[in-house]
Amino acid sequence: MDVNASEQLSLFVMGGWGTSDDVTDALNGGQNFYKNWGGDWAVWGGASYQVNDKTALNLQASYDDAETLGVVANVAYTVVPGFVVTAEVDYYDTPVDDGIGGILRFQRSF
């Protein structure tokens, strides 16, 4: 479900369900091509906030039945029309491990 809360703020939430009963191979951890999350269900949510004509802030979080949490935040800055620089940081937490990462993306659209 998508909601435009204001001209600057948009929100979304979605969920997925898929049984892992037929996916019992220990190597894939209950995941498959059609359902790439752990367990039977997952939920995602996020927001985008347009600060000004050039800058957007984005946030997304996810959680699944296998108790995996993921959070991503980024800032997208339009240097000139067709050229966007995005700085992003991400975090994940599973029952076994956690981690943090990031990217700096330069995207040119013609």
Number of domains the chain is built from = 1
Of residues 20 and 67, more confidently modeled: 67
pLDDT tier, 24 (very low <50, low <70, confident <90, very high otherwise)? low
The percent of residues above 90 in pLDDT, for the chain, comes to: 75
- For residue 69, the enclosing domain spans 2-108
Give the pLDDT mean for 15-43: 72
**102 within 8 A of 89, measured Cβ to Cβ:** yes
Which of helix, strand or coil describes residue 67? coil
pTM score, whole prediction:
0.81
pLDDT given for residue 18 in this prediction? 83
pLDDT given for residue 31 in this prediction? 60
Closest CA to 108 of 87, 74, 79: 79
Question: Concatenated DSSP letters for 6-49?
Answer: SSSEEEEEEEEE---TT---TTTTT--SS--SSSSEEEEEEEEE
pLDDT given for residue 33 in this prediction? 66
Digit-coded pLDDT (tens) for 34-81: 777 888 899 999 999 999 999 999 999 999 998 999 999 999 999 999
